[in-house]
Structure 1
């Protein structure tokens, strides 16, 4: 029996009030308790605070207090379970919840832009998932059902697609093995283990991990200060100090790279992207499996992202943005529809699938050469201030004049090279009804979007730009602002008028 034939039965079953699984309430209680203990464990163990509390209160009284708190938490969880209910009224999802304050949420199917299913490892034996729906307002208005049966989650997804999506799925027989419930889905991309490792090495995770581990630098420094005098380092460290520093830096980079690969393996293991008509479905995760559904009608911007190492290895990833998904690096990209470990050719093919009719063969146009001069002057000013600061620290006689001259010449060459690369990396092209904008220096990010998806267009000019006859074009999109600096003034105004006309035509259509 096809999903279309099952749809009336599913919608009839969901029209009555549904509740969370009792197993989910117990699991959420345990996970919340573990999180609370983990957050306050440093306070209890630090400086003997836990032992002082035990001696002051007493072990027996402390255990009775813990049992009492557990009973209170259990009663509150039972009350929360009784008040949490949801149902599908036509094409409107109604959720009622609240412990002391009763609240009701309603989400119309036409306002749904993103549906995600998460299955942590502790929920997998019970067949439960965390079901989340996101509206056009973005993450701030998302609604989560923290623990329902997988079949019920899939039925909710089918019900919220609306009559138009159900009509599109006619003739596609169902399959029990397909998590989307559609046998007609086409497998568009499968992430291989080699591609997964390359994505971990070339993604921005290594910078995020380095930032997360930065608070450990001071404790590690103190530990080394206390332990190094007691260790016989001469037996295994090289005699050259420079070689020892190089080996230490390489070891640190290797550890960060290993952690980045493990993070990518944790998140994207078993990654599969399937296309089912207007819907694109991805499934991934090592222990915590997650499933995300992207509706092409809600798609606003597609970004092709390559880090510096990714450009050398020919690897990158696609980030699909919808309404309410503001920019914000790797941490924010964790909640977005992301296709990792792609080669350049695979990125082009998938972009053409997401934006039908797009032709990426047109070369990118560069901004005016004045942009290169401005970047060069800024870098030259910064390097000059750096030299003056060093001169103030070491004094005029601290270094030989030839050394100062060599340093100044080196900084001059570096500034000129960086300015040239920045100018060459900045580019744009209008390809029919789509626009492509590339930004970045070592790593690059290329935004591709239909002209009608623009939110606003503005032309800005500083006093220097007015004198030189150039202007900056600012484009506001669903994922943030994209700028084209130092365009010729005539080109900037012509492009702005063309973009606004395309937006008006799209709104009228």
Structure 2
């Protein structure tokens, strides 16, 4: 623990000066790049080399002056029940934030901050959709200051609600970690391998063909002539398949590197009232998710993750920052081996919950089949007027559509308990959304004309994060689900 007295005005660490200089230079470059571009391309007696040198010196001088002034004028302290920050360059500003209005405190550490061993402490309040203030501290001081703010906030709220002095005068002790989750080398590799490479392949193929179309006709012709000079036209299919496989490999490598950099040294700590998340190599991100503000926990597994027996987990926290201001804070764990275990540790009562299961009716399969098969079939039929060979694709398209519709129908169900609801969905992958009944904002019965004829209905559960749909239940079952959830919601609140 640090020995800094946070009730007194404190300055930023000395290493923050260099980061403030870098930030000032970066901002100056963003603001002045049009002017610099005009100067560089203008024709005069100055050589380009000297223009660049002078521009760099001006930006450096501006960054040093502004960074030093920002450092000298920046102080922070917790006085009473307020967080007070003084900052400014030429004009000084004092920010005073009541502790009870602080909604979230998170850490962010970029590349330069990791070199300088500092981190950005961001404070979100009720009244702003973005961070109200950012404080650059070393890691130990940042962690200690965060704990001090949370403890002071707890004391402030306890005082306002007239709790006993014995409870508010307790000695502050660091919160104990109940459970720790992390990525070892094997799990990091699994997370990188199990990413959605098909999406990356689609993007890269689109970029490849877009770049090819941007070439002039003569250049395209030369490239094709050069290609067919070495590859016989009878092997053109093999050639294009080789190109696609090559692009897929590049996509997999890029996804692999991106995942390793983003989730390197991932660490998730579970406390009695919050979850902390930390990950990243070049850009280190730290987040705090309060358990009482978690809206939905979504567990997904794509085809690759199912093959590797892993899944991804996304925890959504929704902050109410005022009458119209709202903000979502979430962290994502790809290819996580302990997704189910973490969900049950966040919601421990769920392990003893008794759930009633409801399934979608077969009408849902027919509707999905019409959707998946109808649109592609109509498009292929229209293309047949230009090329009759497009009709050959109808049979495989119908087979894929029927398979997708069947999988979606079989996986569409929900488990409803006294305190929790789990909604299952997916096509070739799986998706499980878990939420507490107390977080439900509204429950609606939705019934289309087609559903009225088949005596089915869908249940729409709305939260602050999103809406979850339980499609095509029996009408009587759907009404019972709505009535039961409304009853439980009223009971919980």
Aligned equivalent of 2:359, options 354, 366, 377: 366
Question: Could you say which residue in structure 2 is the equivalent of 1:479?
Answer: 465
Structure 1: stretches of 5+ with no match in the other structure? 174-180, 326-331
Which deviations, in whole Å up to 9, do the C-alpha atoms of 1:398-441 show, x marking residues without a partner? 45xxx94x644444333322221121122211134110012221
Question: Could you say which residue in structure 1 is the equivalent of 2:248?
Answer: 253
Return the alpha-carbon distance in structure 2 between the equivalents of residues 277 and 355 of structure 1.
11
TM-score by length of 2: 0.80
2:182 aligned with 1:190: yes
Deviation (angstroms), 1:235: 6.1
When residues 341 and 388 of structure 1 are mapped into structure 2, their CA distance, relative to the original with a 3 A threshold, is: closer
Which deviations, in whole Å up to 9, do the C-alpha atoms of 1:437-484 show, x marking residues without a partner? 122212332110111111222222222222322222222223212122
Question: Could you say which residue in structure 1 is the equivalent of 2:22?
Answer: 30
Question: Could you say which residue in structure 2 is the equivalent of 1:119?
Answer: 109
Return the alpha-carbon distance in structure 2 between the equivalents of residues 43 and 207 of structure 1.
39
Is the 8 Å Cα contact of residues 110 and 284 (structure 2) preserved in structure 1?
Answer: yes
2:282 aligned with 1:293: no
Deviation (angstroms), 1:264: 1.0
2:303 aligned with 1:308: yes
Q: Which moved more, 1:356-365 or 1:120-129?
A: 356-365
Matches within 5 A, 1:140-289: 140-162=129-151, 184-204=176-196, 207=199, 211=203, 215=207, 218-219=210-211, 222=215, 225=220, 228=223, 240-289=235-284
2:385 aligned with 1:392: yes
Is the 8 Å Cα contact of residues 121 and 137 (structure 2) preserved in structure 1?
Answer: yes
Question: Could you say which residue in structure 1 is the equivalent of 2:42?
Answer: 53
Return the alpha-carbon distance in structure 1 between the equivalents of residues 403 and 116 of structure 2.
59
SS at match of 2:473: strand
Q: Which moved more, 1:96-105 or 1:199-208?
A: 96-105
SS at match of 2:261: helix
Return the alpha-carbon distance in structure 2 between the equivalents of residues 393 and 231 of structure 1.
30
Structure 2: stretches of 5+ with no match in the other structure? 156-166, 321-326
TM-score by length of 1: 0.78
Aligned equivalent of 1:128, options 118, 129, 143: 118
When residues 157 and 52 of structure 1 are mapped into structure 2, their CA distance, relative to the original with a 3 A threshold, is: closer
Aligned equivalent of 1:348, options 329, 334, 340: 340
Is the 8 Å Cα contact of residues 128 and 147 (structure 1) preserved in structure 2?
Answer: yes
Is the 8 Å Cα contact of residues 191 and 341 (structure 1) preserved in structure 2?
Answer: no
When residues 227 and 285 of structure 1 are mapped into structure 2, their CA distance, relative to the original with a 3 A threshold, is: farther
Return the alpha-carbon distance in structure 2 between the equivalents of residues 109 and 208 of structure 1.
44
Is the 8 Å Cα contact of residues 21 and 68 (structure 2) preserved in structure 1?
Answer: no
Is the 8 Å Cα contact of residues 356 and 417 (structure 2) preserved in structure 1?
Answer: no
Return the alpha-carbon distance in structure 1 between the equivalents of residues 121 and 293 of structure 2.
19
Aligned equivalent of 2:414, options 428, 431, 437: 428
Deviation (angstroms), 1:314: 1.7
Return the alpha-carbon distance in structure 2 between the equivalents of residues 281 and 126 of structure 1.
23
Deviation (angstroms), 1:304: 0.5
Return the alpha-carbon distance in structure 2 between the equivalents of residues 353 and 151 of structure 1.
27
Aligned equivalent of 2:76, options 82, 86, 103: 86
2:458 aligned with 1:469: no
When residues 464 and 143 of structure 1 are mapped into structure 2, their CA distance, relative to the original with a 3 A threshold, is: same
SS at match of 2:350: coil
Is the 8 Å Cα contact of residues 20 and 70 (structure 2) preserved in structure 1?
Answer: no
SS at match of 1:322: strand
> How many positions carry a matched residue from both structures?
471
Is the 8 Å Cα contact of residues 111 and 282 (structure 2) preserved in structure 1?
Answer: yes
Return the alpha-carbon distance in structure 2 between the equivalents of residues 163 and 34 of structure 1.
35
Is the 8 Å Cα contact of residues 80 and 98 (structure 1) preserved in structure 2?
Answer: yes
SS at match of 2:348: coil
Q: Which moved more, 1:203-212 or 1:409-418?
A: 203-212
SS at match of 1:357: helix
When residues 388 and 105 of structure 1 are mapped into structure 2, their CA distance, relative to the original with a 3 A threshold, is: farther
Deviation (angstroms), 1:254: 1.0
Return the alpha-carbon distance in structure 1 between the equivalents of residues 206 and 102 of structure 2.
39
Q: Which moved more, 1:141-150 or 1:231-240?
A: 231-240
SS at match of 1:300: strand
RMSD: 4.0
